[in-house]
Chain A
Amino acid sequence: MKYVDEFRDAELARGLVAEIRRTVTRPWTIMEVCGGQTHTILRYGLDELLPAEVTLAHGPGCPVCVTPIELIDQAITLALQPQITLCSFGDMLRVPGSAHNLFAARAAGADVRVVYSPLDALDLARREPARQVVFFAVGFETTAPTTAMAVWRAAQLQVPNFSVLMAHVRVPPAMEAILSSPDNRVQGFLAAGHVCTVMGLDEYLPLVRRFRVPIVVTGFEPIDLLHGVAMCIRQLEDGRADLENQYARSVRVEGNVDAQQLMHEMFAAVDRRWRGLDTLAQSALVLRERYAVYDAARRFALPQQAVTEPSECHAGEVLRGLLKPPGCPAFGTRCTPERPLGAPMVSTEGTCAAYFRAGRQPEAIR
């Protein structure tokens, strides 16, 4: 597969690892933001290839993990209404709400369907005019434009039975929260290459300047990640703090302007509490007033309620890179992909699930 296989080449990987080993002289902690990057690191065992001085912390880059528990509960409530069909991306189905997940809702008779794209949900709404079709709109800025287009089209084609439950969030506020935290250990970032494909690089310059950390926009294949680490280590060893673009084959400085324009037309940013983190200012996207009719929360008059997490779940520390999953006392025992305590164990890219699947033993056993 072109533009994939070349970036999985074992020779190149070995060469990059050797370069990192040559460059590094002292310990550094680097965070990769995106869950897809975490997945690659663990799937290929990249953290085992790297010298001990390099610690990879896994950031809150899985939107499944950081979707507020209240939104899962709302999705379940909607799905259980007899006239509603809830369409969702696959990995949301196992994320635990306060009492259940969407899989369990389906077992109880809810009409929950996995879709690959929000446009599939819109198509479904057009094919089944008697049903109310709600799309559970989860994801970062990479996915937000796809939801924007689905709502735009619904308005254009006047599809009355389609709406979205908005759960999109933005990455820069999360990175800022991590860097501002008093217990922050992260010294450099690998920024999310597909988020930046959409949003461009501008939002990250203020972070580089304010916190004096290197940020390397990085892709998702093993060579991309090793290359990003090498670039980041180079900066750290040189005492620099710059914004660099490792993923130039997809990321332009300005990003995808068309996508940004439609997002601006459809969405506004509001404050939102992230699951496992605090309330982050301007961190979530909601539909603008003129598109309110397509907002499921308003169409179905969903109550807004706050919920607490089970105290044993350490998702917050994992999402901030302060705890590796094998160090969590519940990892692999009381918290497994079949019986998750928190979202990072559920999402196929959630850090805890990724570790579990890659077979990392709980630390006491090692």
Chain B
Amino acid sequence: MCLGVPGRIVRLVEEEGLQMGDVDFGGAVRRVCLAYVPDAAEGDYAVIHAGFAISLVDAAEAERTLSLLNDAFGEDLSAVNPSPDTENR
């Protein structure tokens, strides 16, 4: 289904017996439930939907897909369209 956003697990926290964690989406951090990704470790990326991690991002698969696509169709991956992404003051 729908809005599932990848974020980095920056902290594991237990709340009354439920495995939770703080996930950083690249500048916004939210406490989410990690009960469905029991193997999660700090530093892992997870897909977050409605306050829950529903999967851990398979870094190897992501790399594989991107390499495949880049070899076939792309150029240097670092040449993403530049936009004035500004750091926080």
Q: Which of A74-82, A96-104, A244-252, A268-276 is the interface stretch?
A: A244-252
**Contacting residues, chain B, for A251 (C-beta < 8 A):** 55
Complex CA–CA separation, A141 to B17 (angstroms): 25
CB–CB A120/B51 < 8 A? yes
Among B26, B35, B74, find the residue whose CB has the most chain A CB atoms closer than 10 A. B74
Which size bracket describes the interface of B in this complex?
35 or more
Among A9, A36, A146, find the residue whose CB has the most chain B CB atoms closer than 10 A. A9
CB–CB B18/A145 < 8 A? no
Complex CA–CA separation, A251 to B57 (angstroms): 9
Which residues, 119 to 177 on A, are CB-close (under 8 Å) to B?
119-120, 139-143, 145-146, 149, 153, 156-157, 171
> If the complex has contacts A2-B6, A2-B26, A11-B75, are A197 and B54 also in contact, measured as CB distance less than 8 A?
yes
Complex CA–CA separation, A358 to B82 (angstroms): 24
User: Number of A-B pairs whose CB atoms are under 8 Å?
Assistant: 153
| One of A6, A35, A248, A349 near B77 (C-beta < 8 A) | A6
B47 within 8 A of A: yes
Complex CA–CA separation, A146 to B48 (angstroms): 11
CB–CB B55/A252 < 8 A? yes
**Contacting residues, chain A, for B25 (C-beta < 8 A):** 1
CB–CB A248/B73 < 8 A? no
| One of A118, A142, A194, A249 near B58 (C-beta < 8 A) | A249
CB–CB B49/A250 < 8 A? no
> If the complex has contacts A149-B33, A251-B55, are A12 and B4 also in contact, measured as CB distance less than 8 A?
no
Q: Which of A13-21, A287-295, A300-308, A331-339 is the interface stretch?
A: A13-21
CB–CB A258/B1 < 8 A? no
B29 within 8 A of A: no
| Residues 52-64 of chain A, each 1 if its beta carbon lies under 8 Å from chain B, else 0 | 0000000001110
| Residues 9-39 of chain A, each 1 if its beta carbon lies under 8 Å from chain B, else 0 | 1111011101100000000000000111000
CB–CB A197/B55 < 8 A? yes
B88 within 8 A of A: no
Which residues, 8 to 59 on B, are CB-close (under 8 Å) to A?
8, 16-18, 25-26, 32-33, 35-38, 45, 47, 49-52, 54-55, 57-59
CB–CB A19/B73 < 8 A? yes
CB–CB A258/B74 < 8 A? no
CB–CB A149/B35 < 8 A? yes
A227 within 8 A of B: yes
CB–CB A258/B62 < 8 A? no
**Contacting residues, chain B, for A1 (C-beta < 8 A):** 6, 25-26
CB–CB A258/B36 < 8 A? yes
**Contacting residues, chain B, for A34 (C-beta < 8 A):** 1-2
Q: Which residue of B lies closest to A153 (CB)?
A: B18
CB–CB A3/B62 < 8 A? yes
Among B3, B17, B75, B80, find the residue whose CB has the most chain A CB atoms closer than 10 A. B3
Complex CA–CA separation, A153 to B51 (angstroms): 15
> If the complex has contacts A142-B1, A142-B4, are A116 and B62 also in contact, measured as CB distance less than 8 A?
no
**Contacting residues, chain A, for B49 (C-beta < 8 A):** 142-143, 146, 194
Q: Which residue of A lies closest to B66 (CB)?
A: A6
A238 within 8 A of B: no
A187 within 8 A of B: no
Complex CA–CA separation, A143 to B51 (angstroms): 10
CB–CB B1/A143 < 8 A? yes
List the 5 closest pairs (A to B, CB-CB), nearest first.
A15-B73, A117-B51, A142-B1, A36-B2, A249-B62
- The chain B residues found within 8 Å of chain A, CB to CB, are 1-6, 8, 16-18, 25-26, 32-33, 35-38, 45, 47, 49-52, 54-55, 57-59, 61-62, 64-66, 69-70, 72-75, 77, 79-81
- Other than A36-B2, A198-B54, give 11 A-B pairs with Cβ distance below 8 A: A1-B26, A2-B8, A11-B79, A12-B70, A14-B73, A35-B2, A142-B2, A142-B54, A145-B52, A220-B4, A251-B55
A-B contact pairs, 23 of them (CB 8 A): A1-B6, A3-B57, A6-B77, A9-B74, A9-B81, A11-B75, A12-B69, A15-B73, A16-B69, A34-B1, A36-B3, A62-B2, A117-B52, A119-B33, A139-B1, A140-B1, A142-B49, A143-B1, A146-B52, A246-B65, A249-B58, A258-B38, A259-B36
